[in-house]
Amino acid sequence: MNYFTDAHEELRLHIRRFLEREVAPHLEEWEETTFPDSIMARFGELGFLGLRYPPEYGGQGGDYFTAVVLSEEMARAHCGGLGMAVAVQSEMATPPVHRFGTEEQKRRFLVPAIQGDAIAAIAMTEPDAGSDLAGMKTVARRYGDEYVLNGRKIFITNGARCQWCLVVAKTDVEAGHKGFSLFIVPKDTPGFQVTRTLKKLGMHSSDTAELLFEDCKVPVSLRLGEEGEGWTDLMWELQGERLIAACGNVAGAQATFEYAMQYAKDRTAFGKPISQFQVTRHRLVDMGTRIAAVRAFVYETAKRWDEEEYPVREISQAKLLGAQLAVDVADDAIQILGGHGYMSEFPVERAWRDARLSRIGAGTDEIMKEIIAKAYGL
């Protein structure tokens, strides 16, 4: 089945040319300095941050596969951290604002984010609550027309540079899953502080921060959706986050596979290209076969999501498979390249470092398996 139309392929070419001209030449520099805010503004100017949002909010009105195209091209260009930051902007922080936000909230926060004039973040994870999100300690207590937010969030992509952040907090600590709410918190709100920018294994071109909310007063008008519905809304957001991650992981694996295959054809040992050794050929065959199988499953799941189905089990499976695939393919590529694969001047080294996050972020492998098991009634 062909999931992409001529319009999708035209968009793909447009994105690819932009990345080749304006992004790829700077990637090595941004690995050292992180990307400048101006490149996010450029994504917005070209319409890439609102591919599937309605035109009335500055979007392009496309389907879910327009977002898939962007994710794939970012992965193909080895963008890593920048690709993750763009995904946070367009597929993680803004979808809940569009789906659950008031018209005023959409105009104030969604429109500038689509334009690239305001960088967004989403804050869920805490120092003591990662996979166990229900155990988070950030609270928002209501006093009249405002909430007072207190808590700490960690591992927040775009956290250091964002203009606003979507924050998950408990509004009723006794109500279980019915006690969570979402809040849009502008960066200039008193009590909102970036306590530190974190050093990490991969995704070096993006910033990852720890955030502190200390007696941070948030107007009731900036609560997103109904009080107590935050957990349900967050679970919906996570499905889209996990699926777009799977799409990027498969595309990243494909790019790494192609690089390793070309290297094997060009590299000689014992008088012939190493691609002619059975052990290398079979490794490449296994890599390509797994990619093809996982891609087919991911595309079919994306089609169901685009048709507004809610296939939680399949999305969890796609995320699990895609994450493991990206890491395994990068690891195999390093083995094929040998010592060169371990050197930072070759792209497979960065591919492995960047891919490793995918088995942790947006739900670990272990959490995905628990969700899948529950879906099977286990």
pLDDT tens, 250-307?
999 999 999 999 999 999 999 999 999 999 999 999 999 999 999 999 999 999 999 9
Tokens of 156: 């927040």
Beta-sheet strands, E only, within the chain: 120-123, 139-143, 146-157, 164-170, 180-186, 192-197, 208-219, 223-224, 268-269, 272-273
The arithmetic mean of pLDDT across residues 18-34, rounded, is 97
CATH superfamily of 121-228: Butyryl-CoA Dehydrogenase, subunit A, domain 2 (2.40.110.10)
Q: How many CB atoms lie within 10 A of CB 279?
A: 10
Q: Is a pLDDT exceeding 90 seen at residue 144?
A: yes
Query: Known catalytic residue: 31?
Result: no
Task: Quickly state the pLDDT bin for 76 (edges 50, 70, 90).
Answer: very high
pTM of this structure: 0.96
Spell out the domain ranges in the chain: 6-117, 121-228, 232-375
What topology does CATH give the domain 6-117? Butyryl-Coa Dehydrogenase, subunit A; domain 1 (1.10.540)
Residue 134 pLDDT greater than 90, yes or no = no
Q: Does domain 232-375 have CATH number 1.20.140.10?
A: yes
Average of per-residue pLDDT across 205-220: 98
Give the span between the Cα atoms of 375 and 234, in whole angstroms.
18
For residue 102, pLDDT beyond 90: yes
| Catalytic-role residue among 73, 237, 241, 314 | 241
Q: Which residue has the tokens 């990345």?
A: 19
Q: Do the beta carbons of residue 348 and residue 337 sit within 8 Å?
A: yes
- Residue among 357, 114, 76, 118 at smallest CA distance from 241: 357
**Residue whose structure tokens are 């100017």:** 45
pLDDT at residue 301 in the model = 98
How buried is residue 174: exposed, middle or buried, by Cβ count under 10 Å (0-12/13-18/19+)? exposed
How far apart are the C-alpha atoms of 165 and 182, rounded to whole Å?
A: 10
Looking at residue 130, its pLDDT comes to 85
CA 111, 113, 117, 121 torsion: positive or negative? Answer: positive
> Mean of the pLDDT values across residues 176-201?
97
